[in-house]
Amino acid sequence: MGKVRGGILAAISVAVTAIFYGRALAFDLQCDDLLMIRPWSRAELLGVWHGTWEPAHGFAVFFRPLASWFYAGLFELFGWNAPAHMLFSLALLALVAWLVALFVARESRSTPAGALAAVIFALHPNTPWSTGTWVTNDFHKLAALVALGALLLWQRLRHRGPAQWLAFVPFVAACFLIKEDGLMLIPALLTLQWLRARMVGDVAPPGAALVLAAAAVGVALAAWRWLALGELGGFPLPPSLYVVLHNLARGPIYALTAHGSLSVLTAVQKILAVATVVLLGAVIWTMPREKRFPPAAALVVLGWYNLPLALVSNVMRYYMLTIAASAIFAAVIDDVWRGRRALARRGWRTALGAAILLAIASRASVQQRELDLFSPCQRLEHECIPWVLESVPSLPPEARQYVAETPAACAIGRRPKIGEANRLTWGLGSTSIDTMTGERSHAVTGDVVSLIRGNGPTAGLLFRHSGASPAQTVHVEFRVDGARQLRELNGPQWLRIDVPLNAGLRSWLRGAHRVDARFSAPGAEWILIREPQK
């Protein structure tokens, strides 16, 4: 027992993230990233507060406005600069690991227990798929950070009066607006308070008024979602009671036995997994009463966050379950290592240490295989290609061609990163490209966003208003890396505009210069954009 050393836990969290996920810095944007990491219009960002989170309907209908704003912010910061996205993703992963370590260390009053929780979380085979290095899944990290922040706050406020629980309302609301299962934070916190009062006795149990107030907050958030979507939304419901029960059992078993989300267990593995869970429960039951609370608290979080998954037909991402399982293992191993008389002799400690190292090594190999799924030219990318080409209407024409040619590029070992294209153009209206001339057609009522790679002082753009009469004028407003300028297109002739490329922090983070163009031409339909011939 002793003072929790947050700095040491932070260093360990960063180290294990770098060791076991560092190679992800060479990964690329793929699959869902190409739909969500893009320029979002003001109308879209307002619309997610009273509608689905993804306006193109490439995904199932969900109410996750903060997740949508998060994706828009990622594009504003990094564009399609894959290394920057991956570094930020790894930083979030290390931050999640650190908060898990802090919670476990404070609850068990043991810095080694917290360090072990960070290591187990990083090595868990579920982590790459649920909270790892897929940029779209960074919203799971965001939800986890808010939930863990609430749990750490609960450790500070649990001894105070009911009025202090108002501090949790922003956390609950933020969790819910990132991902719907964040609503489970309400019953999880109430159950933790009740359990702490029974098992440790140093806090007061939640009163009826607090429970009713918490229920009212939950009902209000659920009603907001229903009014916004006008439907239940989400994935299809399970077709039978058997599937519901199967989902209820699958999450805890996979999390507590450290199997990957995509693993298909054999009959023998299922028996061994159930036996492992039973053995773990028996060990927790035999722990001294005062030591039993930390793993019991993690079981509460696991249980509540597992409930919504029972009603999902396609369950793969156990992000909070993985966090809870890591906390459970860390608390149990720390107690066994430090407190059991049977392990007081050096021989038993050595044997236990060897067993822990063997278990970590075996899970590390599985975790690395799961991480391989997200590397370039692997199964996930190839399986996503038809979906991307069919379901991502906002995909820049340059990127669409790149995605279509990915299998051929992988076959010869020359797959560049998708963000390394010289130019990527999103038309926030309709977009098409003429493969013969290279002309891009954009609806004149929409904005056009381009990412231009180049080290020169300017980049040339050619614009033409294809439907304009000689006397008609099209007003064009440009913003280049934030600097604003106005131009005019007169009639149907081509106009060359040399866009100044200003080196700065924003263009460095994006790995490209951002050019925004807004057109205004009453009654016109199309604007053509073409790169000048070399």
Give the distance from CA 219 to its chain's centroid: 26
Higher pLDDT, 354 or 29: 29
Instruction: Answer yes or no: is pLDDT of 438 > 70.
Output: no
In which band, very low, low, confident or very high, does the pLDDT at 152 lie, cut at 50, 70 and 90?
Answer: very high
Q: How far is CA 378 from CA 52, 383, 402, 444, 530, in A?
A: 31, 9, 16, 39, 34
pLDDT in tens, 207-250: 999 999 999 999 999 999 999 998 888 888 888 888 888 888 88
Higher pLDDT, 47 or 524: 47
Q: How far is CA 490 from CA 231, 241, 445, 468, 473, in A?
A: 48, 66, 17, 8, 5
DSSP codes of every residue in 409-465: HHHTT----GGGSSEEEEESS-EEE-TTT--EEEETTSEEEEEE---SSEEEEEEE-
Q: How far is CA 349 from CA 333, 336, 339, 355, 413, in A?
A: 11, 10, 11, 10, 49
Q: How far is CA 526 from CA 193, 464, 493, 496, in A?
A: 61, 9, 13, 17
| Residue whose entry in the numeric block shows the structure tokens 């999880």 | 188
C-beta pairs of 163-171 under 8 Å, 24+ apart in sequence: 165/210, 165/213, 165/214, 169/217, 171/146, 171/147
Task: Kindly give the pairing relationship between strand 440-443 and strand 431-433.
Answer: antiparallel
How far apart are the C-alpha atoms of 403 and 395, rounded to whole Å? 10
**Helical spans, DSSP H, in 162-259:** 169-178, 185-199, 208-229, 241-256
415, 406 contact by CB (below 8 A):
yes
Instruction: Answer yes or no: is pLDDT of 196 > 90.
Output: yes
Q: What is the chain's mean pLDDT, rounded?
A: 82
- Residue 534's pLDDT is 46
* H or E segment and range at residue 324: helix 319-339
The pTM score is 0.89
Instruction: Answer yes or no: is pLDDT of 151 > 50.
Output: yes
How far apart are the C-alpha atoms of 336 and 349, rounded to whole Å? 10
**For the ranges 8-17, 31-40, 356-365, 473-482, the one whose mean pLDDT is highest:** 8-17
Higher pLDDT, 22 or 400: 22
How far apart are the C-alpha atoms of 118 and 132, rounded to whole Å? 14
How far apart are the C-alpha atoms of 398 and 370, rounded to whole Å? 30
Instruction: Answer yes or no: is pLDDT of 430 > 60.
Output: no
Closest CA to 418 of 23, 2, 33: 33
321, 255 contact by CB (below 8 A):
yes
Residue 11 DSSP class: H
Higher pLDDT, 192 or 502: 192
Q: What is the mean pLDDT of residues 146-162?
A: 93
Sheet harboring 440-443: ordered strands across?
431-433, 440-443, 526-530, 458-464, 495-500
Higher pLDDT, 380 or 509: 509
What is the CB neighbour count within 10 angstroms for residue 258? 25
**For the ranges 82-91, 248-257, 347-356, 357-366, the one whose mean pLDDT is highest:** 82-91
Instruction: Answer yes or no: is pLDDT of 91 > 90.
Output: yes
